[in-house]
Structure 1
């Protein structure tokens, strides 16, 4: 009898490896099928639930951001588009978007980015018990004091929209600014940045507003911003403008800030000194900012007109209603300051005179 000494053992190492590989692949395939089936079920459940509550959801997120539409969303998105259009005077990359593209594509994208990053910040800002109690008096229509959502659901909504804002920013631009806004929002709302010192409060406000503005510019431009000398100088000037004048927003709510123990500028140094400081600084920057761009007297008219209006109103009209109206003029004044690079570009082209 001849004995076959060949490798006919079905349990040798090579066959075992093949069997293990087949088993592993089949196990992974079945596991993925189970997970995908569960994902589809959960997805459609959420979709059906969202569809039923979509009008309420839209209303809720709108009410969270309503107060800041005129102070953050529109001014900073307008800054983004105007400055992106005049990018060459800041030594930034230029974009070849057509006129319709700027209006119908780039501005809506900048507007959407600004609002997407503002929403979780605003929810965070309105989330504490003190904020809810204050809003019961001043803004009872907001989602938390009105009972549209509770704190637990608002927290979940905030976290989801922080993630959503980061995803949006990683897709269309402004990712660095978005991440920085998360840090600033945490410092401002949870780290005492809004309450303990008016210097820190103004500093965070300046950094936050410029993060919204530069992020909107990057989205409108469609390319990452560069760190250039002219850009750094202009951003530095804008930071100084905002840091020294943003207390305008605190003049009309000193009663609420006092109840919450906030150390805002009017409460620390007094109402009258704050008003005189603000009036003088606004007038000063109404002249200095056009000078930075070497613009003529005509370019100074708009910032100076609104600067005078703000100064006069700040010193002579001291009711909460009048101060709230003055803050609206302040935001228009800021847009006139934001427009100076665009005016420079339209008047003298890409040639810089700074």
Structure 2
């Protein structure tokens, strides 16, 4: 049960949080990402809105079941502030600006001020690489996973920021962002190891 709660705490907000920006950014996606479900017509705006509220409700049901109401309340407020309060437009609040490299054309078209547009490409990319490297080292030191897990985690980080540094093409940035997702997932799984060792955090 504790193992499942750990996974839940780290991942439960991602599903509803990912749906809302897709709903709000449908006009932009029609220009930059027409393959997505809403602009391609695979799902209607009304259905996507219903899906968002259903997932948000299920998140709270899970919170009641796992007794994680304070954490869920914090996530809920953060989602609302970030997506609907305009905080997503602040460059320094972005998630390490990893996804902004693949969205440069659309962001420039929409007049957004993201780090890859505000800084030179080398500076923006090296700053992301430094962040990923620092987080990787810090999380390994904090959670102390086994050697094999540490090597895998570090390899994901290397592949991720290596891709950003190797190519400046937006298509390649999309691939690098996929690797960033794997790295981020791995970082969320690291707290499992101290629990398996019987330690309390």
TM-score, length-scaled by structure 1: 0.47
Report which of the two structures shows the higher radius of gyration computed on alpha carbons.
1
| Contact preservation (8 Å) 1:258, 1:267 | yes
How far 1:295 moved relative to its partner? Answer: 6.0
Equivalent residue, structure 1, for 2:20: 124
| Contact preservation (8 Å) 1:247, 1:265 | yes
- Cα deviations across residues 47-81 of structure 1 (Å, max 9, x unaligned)? xxxxxxxxxxxxxxxxxxxxxxxxxxxxxxxxxx8
SS in 2 for 1:170: helix
| Contact preservation (8 Å) 2:161, 2:176 | no
Equivalent residue, structure 1, for 2:93: 200
- Cα deviations across residues 256-307 of structure 1 (Å, max 9, x unaligned)? 1222222221122232211111122322333332223456765532222222
Equivalent residue, structure 2, for 1:328: 178
Aligned-residue CA RMSD (Å): 3.4
| Contact preservation (8 Å) 1:198, 1:264 | yes
| Contact preservation (8 Å) 1:166, 1:178 | yes
Q: 1:199 to 1:297 in 2, by over 3 A?
A: same
| Contact preservation (8 Å) 1:310, 1:326 | yes
Alignment of 1:96-111 (within 5 A): 106=4, 110=8
How far 1:198 moved relative to its partner? Answer: 1.0
Unpaired runs of 5+ residues, structure 2, are: none
Unpaired runs of 5+ residues, structure 1, are: 1-80, 86-105, 203-245
What is the rounded CA distance, in whole Å, between the counterparts of 2:199 and 2:60 in structure 1? 36
What is the rounded CA distance, in whole Å, between the counterparts of 1:169 and 1:303 in structure 2? 29
Alignment of 1:1-354 (within 5 A): 84-85=2-3, 106=4, 110=8, 114=12, 118-119=15-16, 121-128=17-24, 131-147=25-41, 148-150=43-45, 154-155=48-49, 158-159=52-53, 161-195=55-89, 197-202=90-95, 246-293=96-143, 300-344=150-194, 349-350=197-198
What is the rounded CA distance, in whole Å, between the counterparts of 1:351 and 1:160 in structure 2? 36
| Contact preservation (8 Å) 1:194, 1:262 | no
What is the rounded CA distance, in whole Å, between the counterparts of 2:62 and 2:199 in structure 1? 34
What is the rounded CA distance, in whole Å, between the counterparts of 1:150 and 1:295 in structure 2? 43
- Cα deviations across residues 186-234 of structure 1 (Å, max 9, x unaligned)? 2222221111x211334xxxxxxxxxxxxxxxxxxxxxxxxxxxxxxxx
TM-score, length-scaled by structure 2: 0.76
SS in 2 for 1:249: coil
SS in 2 for 1:248: coil
Q: 1:323 to 1:342 in 2, by over 3 A?
A: same
